[in-house]
C-alpha cells in the first residue's frame, strides 16, 4: 500500500494554509494583551507594588467601581426613557431628537470634561452669572464641584448614554406589539406598560448597551485624570510613568481586565435568561401615539435636556472659547498632521486585519476564530493596558521606545485595540448576504479560494466604508496609549488638547477638541440616518 504522506510537508492537525492569515492576525492583535496578562500573573511583588497596595490600590479600585455605579445609574435613568419616547410617541421635535440624541458618540469623555470644567469652574460663566445676580462672593454659597467623583460620573454618563439609547431603541422597535396591546387592553397605564412590559422585554439589549458603556467608562483616562479622580486606569499610567515597574502596572491591568470580563459575563447571563415570545403581531407596523399638553412638554423637555447635557452645552462652550480666543489652525497644524497620518496608517492596517477576521469567521476557519477572540479582547480592555503590553514586549526584546520604532509600536497598539470595530460592519454585511450566493458558487464547482475572492470579498467590502470610518475616528480620539507610547515631541490632537487642558489653558484646548468631535460626527451622522429609517414593528 502506498503512503499518502507527502515528505517535507508539515501540517498541524485540523489546520491548513487557509488558517494562517487568521492565526497570524490573531497573534499580532493578541500579543500586547497576552504580554500584559502573563506579566501580571507571573511577576513577583516588588517595592513598587507593595507601595501601590499600601497607599493607592484600594482607592483606585473604589474610584473605578463608584464611577461605574454613578455612570450606570445616570445612563439608565435617562437613555431608556428617551429611547421609549422617541420610539413609541409623537411629540414636538421627536424627529430631530431621534438622531440628535446619538451625537455624543462623536465626542470622547475627556472633551466633555474639559468643557464642563471651564463652564462650571469658579471663574466660569455659570458661577460668575450666579454671583452677578445674587451679589454673593465665591465663598458665600455652595456649588457642585465638577472636579470630583460625581462630576466624573456626570461627564461619562453624558458621553456614553448613546450606547444604551441605541440598544434600547432597537429593542423597543421590535417589541411584541401584541404584548403592548394586551397590557393596554387590561387597563395598564402608560408608565406601567413601560416598566412592566417594555423594559423587561428589552432588558437583554439594555444590558448589552450598558456593558459597552461601562467598559468604556472603566477604560477612561483623560476625563478621570483631568478631573482628579483616582481610577485604576489612572493608577496604571501612574505606576508605569512614576515607577517604571511593568509588573506593578500589569497587576493593576489584571484588575481592569477582570472588571471587563465580569461586565461581559453579566451581559451574557442577562441575555441568556431574558427574552420574549414572538407573535404574529410582532412585526405589525403601528402608529406612534400622539402626546399633548403636559405629556408632550415633558417628553420634549426630557429629550432636550439629555441632548443639551451630552452634546449641545459642552460643544457650544468649546465653540465659544475657540471663537473668543481666535486660535488659528496653524497653531495645531503639526498635531493635526500627526493625528491624520497615524489614524490613516493604523486604520488601513486595522481594516485589513478586520477583513481577514470577517472573511475567516464567515468561512468558519479556526484561525479566524482565534483572531476574533483576540480582537474582542483588545477592544474590551483599556488602551493603557495594551500600551503596557507593547512596552513589555519591547522590554523583553531589549528595544527602546524611540524614533520610528515608537510610531510602529503605537500603530500596532491601535490595530490591536480597534480591529474588532473595523471587522464588525463587514461581519454584519456577510451575515445579511443570502446563503444562496455561496451555495450557487459551490454548485458551479468554484474552488474555496475563488468563492472567497468573487463572492464573499465583494459582500464584505460593502461594509468597508463604515468599518474604515469607525477605525479612523476611534484612533483619532485615543488618548492613554498615545500618551504612553508616542515619541518625544510627537503630539496628536488628543494629546495636545489634554496637555493644554492640564496646563489650565482650556481656551487653547477648544480647537483640537472641536476637530476631534467634528471628525467623529461623520460616522455618527451616517448611523443616525440609518436609524431614522427604522420604524416600530419593522
Q: With both helix axes pointing from N to C terminus, report the angle between 333-362 and 403-432 in degrees, rounded to the nearest 10.
A: 40
CB neighbour list of residue 176: distance below 8 Å, 6 or more residues apart: 201, 276, 277, 278, 279, 281, 282
In eight-state DSSP terms, residue 364 is T
Alpha-carbon Rg for the chain in angstroms: 25
Distance CA 246, CA 240 (A): 6
Distance CA 259, CA 239 (A): 19
Cell numbers for 369: 476564530
Cell numbers for 339: 493625528
| DSSP string over 186-217 | TT--HHHHIIIIIHHHHHHHHHHHHHHHHHHH
Domain boundaries, the chain: 327-502
Name beta bridge partners: 289. Answer: 89
State pTM to two decimals: 0.84
The pLDDT profile of the chain, 538 residues, written as one tens digit per residue, is 444 444 444 444 455 666 688 788 888 999 999 999 898 888 766 787 888 888 888 999 999 999 999 999 999 999 999 998 998 888 999 989 988 999 998 899 999 999 999 999 988 899 999 988 888 887 888 899 999 999 999 999 999 999 999 888 888 877 656 656 555 665 566 677 676 767 787 888 888 889 889 988 998 999 999 999 999 999 888 888 887 778 888 888 888 888 888 887 877 777 665 544 444 444 455 567 888 899 999 999 999 999 999 999 999 999 999 988 877 777 788 898 999 899 989 988 988 888 888 777 666 777 677 888 888 888 888 888 999 999 999 988 888 888 788 899 999 999 999 888 777 776 666 665 555 555 555 555 555 555 555 555 665 565 566 677 778 888 888 999 998 898 888 889 999 999 999 988 888 999 999 999 998 888 888 777 766 665 544 4
Q: Is the dihedral of CA 336, 337, 340, 346 positive or negative?
A: negative
CB neighbour list of residue 67: distance below 8 Å, 6 or more residues apart: 149, 152, 153, 156, 217, 218, 224, 229, 231
**Homologous superfamily (CATH) for 327-502:** MetI-like (1.10.3720.10)
Instruction: Yes or no: say if 67 and 156 are a contact pair by the CB < 8 Å rule.
Output: yes
Distance CA 141, CA 532 (A): 45
Distance CA 524, CA 469 (A): 10
Amino acid at each position: 500500500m502506498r503512503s499518502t504522506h507527502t515528505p517535507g510537508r508539515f501540517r498541524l492537525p485540523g489546520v491548513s494554509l487557509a488558517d494562517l492569515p487568521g492565526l497570524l492576525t490573531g497573534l499580532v492583535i493578541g500579543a500586547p494583551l497576552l504580554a500584559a496578562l502573563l506579566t501580571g500573573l507571573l511577576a513577583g511583588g516588588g517595592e513598587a507594588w507593595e507601595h501601590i497596595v499600601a497607599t493607592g490600590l484600594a482607592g483606585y479600585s473604589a474610584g473605578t467601581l463608584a464611577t461605574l455605579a454613578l455612570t450606570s445609574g445616570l445612563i439608565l435613568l435617562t437613555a431608556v426613557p428617551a429611547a421609549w419616547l422617541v420610539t413609541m410617541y409623537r411629540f414636538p421635535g421627536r424627529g430631530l431628537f431621534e438622531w440628535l440624541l446619538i451625537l455624543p458618540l462623536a465626542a470622547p469623555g475627556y472633551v466633555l470634561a474639559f468643557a464642563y470644567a471651564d463652564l462650571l469652574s469658579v471663574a466660569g460663566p455659570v458661577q460668575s452669572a450666579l454671583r452677578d445676580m445674587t451679589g454673593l462672593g465665591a465663598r458665600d454659597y455652595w456649588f457642585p464641584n465638577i472636579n470630583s467623583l460625581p462630576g466624573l460620573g456626570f461627564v461619562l454618563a453624558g458621553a456614553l448614554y448613546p450606547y444604551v439609547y441605541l440598544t434600547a431603541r432597537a429593542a423597543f422597535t421590535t417589541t411584541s406589539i401584541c404584548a403592548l396591546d394586551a397590557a393596554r387592553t387590561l387597563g395598564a397605564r402608560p408608565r406601567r406598560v413601560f416598566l412592566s412590559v417594555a423594559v423587561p422585554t428589552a432588558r437583554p439589549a439594555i444590558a448589552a448597551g450598558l456593558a459597552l458603556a461601562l467598559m468604556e467608562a472603566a477604560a477612561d483616562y483623560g476625563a478621570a485624570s483631568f478631573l482628579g479622580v483616582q481610577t485604576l486606569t489612572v493608577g496604571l499610567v501612574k505606576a508605569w510613568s512614576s515607577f517604571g515597574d511593568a509588573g506593578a502596572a500589569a497587576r493593576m491591568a489584571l484588575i481592569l481586565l477582570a472588571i471587563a470580563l465580569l461586565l461581559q459575563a453579566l451581559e451574557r447571563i442577562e441575555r441568556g435568561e431574558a427574552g420574549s415570545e414572538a407573535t404574529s403581531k410582532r412585526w405589525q407596523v403601528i402608529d406612534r401615539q400622539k402626546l399633548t399638553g403636559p405629556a408632550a412638554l415633558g417628553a420634549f423637555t426630557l429629550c432636550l435636556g439629555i441632548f443639551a447635557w451630552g452634546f449641545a452645552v459642552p460643544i457650544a462652550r468649546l465653540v465659544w472659547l475657540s471663537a473668543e480666543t481666535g486660535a488659528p489652525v496653524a497653531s495645531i497644524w503639526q498635531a493635526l498632521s500627526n493625528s491624520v497620518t497615524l489614524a490613516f496608517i493604523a486604520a488601513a492596517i486595522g481594516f485589513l486585519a478586520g477583513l481577514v477576521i470577517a472573511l475567516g469567521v464567515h468561512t468558519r476557519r479556526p484561525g479566524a476564530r482565534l483572531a476574533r477572540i483576540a480582537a474582542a479582547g483588545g477592544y474590551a480592555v483599556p488602551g493603557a493596558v495594551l500600551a503596557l503590553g507593547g512596552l513589555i514586549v519591547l522590554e523583553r526584546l531589549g528595544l527602546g521606545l524611540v524614533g520610528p520604532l515608537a510610531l510602529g509600536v503605537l500603530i500596532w497598539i491601535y490595530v490591536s485595540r480597534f480591529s474588532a470595530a473595523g471587522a464588525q460592519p463587514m461581519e454584519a454585511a456577510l451575515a445579511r448576504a443570502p446563503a444562496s450566493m455561496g451555495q450557487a458558487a459551490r454548485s458551479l464547482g468554484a474552488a474555496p479560494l475563488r468563492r472567497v475572492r468573487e463572492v464573499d470579498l465583494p459582500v464584505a467590502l460593502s461594509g468597508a466604508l463604515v468599518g474604515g470610518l469607525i477605525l479612523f475616528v476611534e484612533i483619532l480620539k485615543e488618548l492613554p496609549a498615545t500618551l504612553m507610547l508616542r515619541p518625544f515631541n510627537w503630539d496628536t490632537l488628543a494629546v495636545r488638547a489634554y496637555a493644554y487642558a492640564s496646563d489650565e489653558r482650556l481656551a487653547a484646548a477648544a480647537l483640537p477638541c472641536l476637530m476631534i468631535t467634528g471628525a467623529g460626527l461623520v460616522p455618527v451622522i451616517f448611523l443616525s440616518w440609518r436609524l431614522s429609517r427604522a420604524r416600530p414593528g419593522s
